């Protein structure tokens, strides 16, 4: 433990934005002097302390490594190095994936990533210091780094302009798509809509309460986007028979009920008739047919699982069937996210594995809090194309949004196939947001300023990456670097979200190093921190016995679709190969036997 008080050096107080007369009143923590997760505490008017406790470093600014930390630093590979290793040498990883080494590596990945996220949480947007309120009040998003102090000379601390550049100017200059840049990994719209559908259960900013607040009090994978985020909404969506959710039959297939049948609040424009307004757990899912497509698949899956549970447990009442089916679907979701979604996103040849037992022998906390930074980071609107192709027709945004009849007219199979075969956009390193979505990016920047997020480089350091020394190093492009420097003045004054989007992408990757290194810890901690992954929950009885446990342990994107449609389409998170060959569809007879008779 190292608490070192010292007089704040005068030389550090001199900046382009603070006159000598103002220097003595500058909050020294505005310089972010404490390194390696050290905590800055202001003392007096011109002094500060860096708390280096359990950081592995000591010294005035927590910058001197202890002996074992020095060895660890010398041996630690850079993110660039292990990304290179994990995305090459397929023959080698094919061997590893069939040995016990896979489990060892997966355990290492999970622990190293998850340990980067503080648990219990530390800060929120109103408390930049440890407090009971920041811990106990789950109405707040938590924060990884405290806000920039309000008494700093500039919005980013001490560097950069006195007034940040206009948010619209930043978005139009660095984010607005001129030419569509497809993702080099072959990511498709099936992935894009899954990302949006999945994250909207825990990214639910509460505008009424103010910035930094959330309505998703579950703070994780609770499937609130299927069942609603409160008990009243859940009850309006439930059939209260056999554990099932309400539904309607159209063209012989199950679809969500209308708002007349399930009177929950949904956001639709006035021109959408009540009979065309579908009711689901998340009130915004009527916006896009891709979101309602996933909502329909999960509705069918829930009711299918209820049928299986009732066959196995004929004495169970409606409530137990419903609650157990929900736990099974939570497990299926986490399985799909890790082994299909994150697997694709990573580009790794190491085969990722969802196995909670890998963490049973290590210290791990089974509670999660969603952070403001994770919410900001996950605005992946560059994924969206300029138009949407369904069979032989192309739809622009005006024709696509709030088109509630597209799902029922085409059917789930047609939408799945269309979205699986249409390429999504690259997220980072290029200006790639469609003009219809640019206002969302502008809103992200404006929100980050209201929440006083620390500069991009401070987050690089927090997640064990070296800070960039120049805009040229960040972008790899002279023109973009010069324009950024003109607006921000200093690389250490660059904002968090712009930094993530303008950072040069890794080779053949959808985005840059920082998006991976910052996003992955949030994701894995949130998934494996779910209660169902704990030793008390992770057992067959939680899921209704061996049959329910098997549903969780064998879940996949392909099974989610193919067990809930009449004819299995091409389904994947990647477009088919250029050769035109499509991955083999797993449509075994045993799958079909599991389907509900209602389908």
Catalytic residues: 200, 378
Which of the 8 DSSP states describes residue 548?
H
Q: Which of 362, 348, 340 has its CA nearest to residue 107?
A: 362
Asked if 182 contacts 505 with a C-beta cutoff of 8 angstroms, the reply is: no
Peptide bond into 121 cis (omega under 30): no
| Residue 14 token pair | 């001199």
CA 485, chain centre distance (Å): 29
Asked if 596 contacts 303 with a C-beta cutoff of 8 angstroms, the reply is: yes
d(CA 199, CA 122): 22
Q: Which of 357, 499, 353, 517 has its CA nearest to residue 428?
A: 499
Q: Which of 424, 415, 406 has its CA nearest to residue 511?
A: 424
Asked if 528 contacts 111 with a C-beta cutoff of 8 angstroms, the reply is: no
| DSSP secondary structure of 363-404 | --------BHHHHHHT--GGGS-SSEEETTEEE-HHHHTT-T
d(CA 40, CA 123): 13
Asked if 494 contacts 486 with a C-beta cutoff of 8 angstroms, the reply is: no
Query: Strands 393-395 and 39-43: what pairing?
Result: unpaired
d(CA 116, CA 219): 17
Q: Which of 166, 146, 164, 144 has its CA nearest to residue 156?
A: 164
Q: Tokens 């607040």: give the residue.
A: 213
Percent of the chain as helix, strand, coil, to the nearest 5: 45, 10, 45
Asked if 270 contacts 250 with a C-beta cutoff of 8 angstroms, the reply is: no
Q: Which of 454, 429, 484, 488 has its CA nearest to residue 376?
A: 454
Q: Tokens 């939680």: give the residue.
A: 542
Q: Which of 509, 589, 544 has its CA nearest to residue 182?
A: 509
């Amino acid at each position: 433990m190292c608490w070192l008080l010292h007089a704040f050096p005068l030389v550090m107080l001199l900046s382009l934005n603070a006159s000598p007369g103002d220097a003595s009143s500058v909050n020294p923590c505005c310089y972010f002097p404490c390194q390696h997760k050290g905590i800055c505490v202001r003392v007096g008017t011109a002094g500060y302390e860096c708390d280096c406790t359990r950081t592995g470093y000591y010294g005035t600014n927590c910058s001197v490594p202890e002996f074992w930390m020095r060895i660890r630093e010398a041996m630690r590979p850079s993110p660039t190095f292990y990304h290179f290793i994990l995305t090459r040498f397929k023959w080698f990883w094919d061997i590893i994936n069939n040995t016990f080494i896979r489990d060892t590596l997966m355990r290492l990945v999970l622990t190293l990533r998850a340990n980067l996220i503080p648990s219990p949480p530390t800060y929120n947007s109103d408390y930049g210091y440890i407090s009971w309120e920041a811990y106990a009040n789950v109405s707040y998003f938590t924060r990884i780094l405290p806000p920039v102090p309000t008494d700093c000379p500039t919005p980013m601390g001490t560097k950069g302009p006195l007034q940040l550049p206009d948010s619209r100017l930043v978005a139009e200059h660095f984010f607005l798509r001129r030419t569509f840049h497809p993702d080099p990994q072959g990511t498709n719209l099936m992935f894009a809509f899954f990302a949006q559908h999945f994250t909207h259960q825990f990214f639910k900013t509460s505008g009424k309460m103010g910035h930094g607040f959330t309505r998703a009090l579950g703070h994780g994978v609770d499937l609130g986007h299927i069942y609603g985020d409160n008990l009243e909404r859940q009850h309006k969506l439930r059939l209260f028979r056999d554990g099932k959710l309400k539904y309607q039959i159209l063209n012989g297939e199950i679809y969500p009920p209308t708002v007349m049948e399930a009177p929950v609040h949904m956001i639709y424009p006035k021109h959408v008739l009540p009979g065309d307004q579908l009711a689901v757990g998340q009130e915004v899912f009527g916006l896009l047919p891709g979101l309602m497509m996933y909502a329909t698949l999960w509705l069918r899956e829930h009711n299918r699982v209820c049928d299986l549970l009732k066959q196995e447990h004929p004495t169970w009442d409606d409530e137990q069937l419903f609650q157990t089916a929900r736990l099974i679907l939570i497990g299926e979701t986490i399985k799909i996210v890790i082994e299909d979604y994150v697997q694709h996103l990573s580009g790794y040849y190491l085969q990722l594995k969802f196995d909670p037992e890998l963490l049973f022998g290590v210290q791990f906390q089974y509670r999660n809090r969603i952070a403001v930074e994770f919410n900001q980071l996950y605005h992946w609107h560059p994924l969206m194309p300029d138009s949407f192709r369904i069979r032989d027709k192309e739809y622009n945004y005006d024709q696509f949004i709030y088109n509630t009849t597209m799902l029922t007219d085409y059917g789930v199979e047609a939408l799945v196939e269309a979205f699986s075969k249409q390429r999504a956009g690259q997220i980072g390193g290029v200006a790639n947001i469609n003009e219809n979505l640019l206002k969302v990016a502008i809103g992200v920047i404006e929100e980050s300023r209201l929440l006083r997020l620390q500069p991009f480089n401070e987050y690089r350091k927090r997640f064990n990456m070296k800070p960039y020394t120049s805009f040229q190093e960040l972008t790899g492009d002279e023109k973009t670097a010069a324009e950024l420097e003109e607006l921000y003045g200093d690389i250490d004054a660059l904002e968090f979200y712009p930094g993530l989007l303008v950072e040069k992408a890794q080779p053949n990757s959808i985005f840059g190093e920082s998006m991976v290194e910052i996003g992955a810890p949030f994701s894995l901690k949130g998934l494996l921190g779910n209660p169902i992954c704990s030793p008390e929950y992770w057992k067959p009885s939680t899921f209704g016995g061996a049959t329910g446990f098997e549903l969780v342990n064998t879940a996949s994107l392909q099974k989610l679709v193919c067990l809930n449609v009449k004819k299995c389409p091409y389904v994947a998170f990647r477009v088919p190969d250029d050769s035109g060959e499509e991955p083999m569809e797993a449509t075994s007879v045993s799958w079909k036997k599991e389907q509900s008779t209602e389908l």
